[in-house]
Amino acid sequence: MRRAAVIGVGQTKFRTRRDDKTHPELTREAVSRALEHAGITMDDVDAFVFGTMDPFDGINCPDRWSSTAAGFGKPFMKISTGGTTGLTTGIAAYQHVASGLFDVVVAVCTQRVGENVDAQPVLNTAVDPIYERHSGVGAISVAAIQATVHMQKYGTTEEQMAWVSVKDHENALKNPYAHIKKKIGVEDVLSSPVVSSPLKLYECCPRSDGSVAVIFASEEKAEQIRDDPAWILAESSISDSYFVGDRPDLAVWDSLSIAGRRLYRLAGIDDPKKDIDVAELYSPFTIQEILELEALGFAEKGEGAKLAEEGVTFVDGDMPTNPSGGVLCTNPIGATGLVRLGEASLQVMGEASNQVDGAEVALAHAWGGTLQFHALMLVSSHKKLRR
């Protein structure tokens, strides 16, 4: 595998509805911004990888429509791994370049969850029709059952989870692309209606429309194109059991721990707390940021809930997490994972809207399926991990 880097990032504004544009028009908005950010043109791009989670958009295979804005006449493929889609698309585009087959490749993900009048019927179709479709489990209840166990096993409190939401909402205020912009306090979270106990409304993500594009280039091209690319140090991904009941312990995210250890080994990381400056994690629900911080080695098991409460994960803390406002404030599901990579890349380029001072190494994460898949990418302002 050869070295590759992110050379451009483009996002649309994320909103409940983007009535002003059609599917390919949104794709074009993100791709155009990424090309502009990289300072290249469509002619410089060798291939496209497109990601979306069918059928939130109400169009089966919306990649057919959106491909018109994603490299007419160029090599094209579509990726779909549930909520992980965005980052899996990033990994696929990276592998296109790292393999040596292509020099410049665009990953682009477009999703219109907001056009879906009610996303639950779509989520229902994502569950097997034999055993589990009639179980009454929605997207939020899957996170809620994690929270129940974490609270009972480790004594995690509602207030501690609320702090995650307060932090993300504060961060989103600085992000021009973020969907939910609202300053809230712990009391607002605690007094919002319980959706799936113990999770409350302000602990849950919105449904967003929008698109994001991230451009990858080979080492040689990246150095020609810009002075400050975000070098890919490593990526890893993992699949786990289909049935939620197969997970031995919902209070720990063991598949994410395994994926994390693979990533750290590839990148040469011994201590993630020391070696990683900022993380963009896929946390559509407060409890999941806590589980992810523990699984990825930023906190001991059962200690993750303290981080937001103690300010550690705020942008000026020791382990800034989701400085973009995260998935809790913006969730265009199949695009969300690629937003994580885009924001992580901007952090190490020093161009993020809510910049972490001196960020050199940033982590991007996504999960998908019913807690089934994880994807991770690590980017840096340097070609190799520097300690």
Partner 1 sequence: MVLRIEAKWEIPYVHSAGEHATKFFEALKEKKILGVKCPKCQRVLVPPRAFCERCYVDTDEWVEVKDEGVIETVTINYARFTGLPDPPYAVGIIKLDGADTGMLAYLGGVDLTDWKKAHEKLKVGTRVKAVWKDRPEGRITDILYFKPVEE
- C-beta of 42 vs 258, nearer to partner 1: 258
Which one of 41-49, 144-152, 176-184, 292-300 is the stretch in contact with partner 1 (CB under 8 A)?
A: 144-152
CB of 133 to partner 1, least distance (A): 8
144 scored as a contact of partner 1 (CB under 8 A) = yes
Q: Would you give the binding string for partner 1 spanning residues 281-310, x where CB under 8 A is met?
A: ------------------------------
Q: Judge contact between 212 and 338, C-beta under 8 A.
A: yes
**Concatenated DSSP letters of 332-367:** -HHHHHHHHHHHHHHHHHT--TTPPTT--EEEEEEE
- C-beta of 135 vs 191, nearer to partner 1: 135
CB of 92 to partner 1, least distance (A): 24
Partners of 5 in the β-ladder:
217, 231
Task: Pick one of 68, 99, 120, 191: the residue that binds partner 1 (CB under 8 A).
Answer: 120
CB of 153 to partner 1, least distance (A): 8
Q: How many residues bind partner 1 (CB under 8 A)?
A: 42
Residues 8-27 that bind partner 1 (CB under 8 A): 19-20
Residues 60-89 that bind partner 1 (CB under 8 A): none
244 scored as a contact of partner 1 (CB under 8 A) = yes
Which one of 105-113, 126-134, 221-229, 303-311 is the stretch in contact with partner 1 (CB under 8 A)?
A: 126-134
Distance CA 34, CA 28 (A): 10
* Angle, CA of 150, 130 and 114, to the nearest 5°: 65
Task: Pick one of 243, 270, 351, 386: the residue that binds partner 1 (CB under 8 A).
Answer: 243
Type of residue at 165: S
Q: Would you give the binding string for partner 1 spanning residues 357-386, x where CB under 8 A is met?
A: ------------------------------
- C-beta of 72 vs 242, nearer to partner 1: 242
162 scored as a contact of partner 1 (CB under 8 A) = no
CA 348 to each of CA 86, 229, 272, 313: distance values in angstroms, whole numbers, following the listed order: 19, 8, 16, 17
195 scored as a contact of partner 1 (CB under 8 A) = yes
198 scored as a contact of partner 1 (CB under 8 A) = yes
- C-beta of 239 vs 353, nearer to partner 1: 239
Task: Pick one of 129, 176, 316, 358: the residue that binds partner 1 (CB under 8 A).
Answer: 129
- C-beta of 1 vs 194, nearer to partner 1: 194
Q: Would you give the binding string for partner 1 spanning residues 28-57, x where CB under 8 A is met?
A: ---------------------------x--
Type of residue at 275: D
Residues 174-193 that bind partner 1 (CB under 8 A): 193
Q: Which H or E run contains 27?
A: helix 23-38
**Concatenated DSSP letters of 115-154:** GSS-SHHHHHHTS-TTTTGGG---HHHHHHHHHHHHHHHH
Query: DSSP code of 195?
Result: E
118 scored as a contact of partner 1 (CB under 8 A) = yes
CB of 8 to partner 1, least distance (A): 29
Give SS3 for 387.
coil
Query: DSSP code of 13?
Result: P
Residues in contact with 89: Cβ distance below 8 Å, sequence separation at least 6, in sequence order: 49, 50, 51, 79, 107, 108, 109, 337, 338
How does 37-75 read in b/e, with b if 16+ C-beta sit within 10 Å?
bbebeeebbbbbbbbbbbebbebeebbeebbebbbeeee
CB of 130 to partner 1, least distance (A): 5
* E strands in the chain: 4-11, 47-51, 76-79, 104-112, 194-196, 199-200, 209-218, 230-239, 278-280, 361-368, 373-380
- Does the CA dihedral 288-291-293-299 come out positive or negative? positive
Closest CA to 165 of 140, 187, 138: 187
224 scored as a contact of partner 1 (CB under 8 A) = no
Could you list the residues that contact partner 1 (CB under 8 A)? Answer: 19-20, 55, 58, 118, 120-121, 124, 129-132, 134-138, 140-141, 144-149, 152-153, 193-199, 241-247, 250
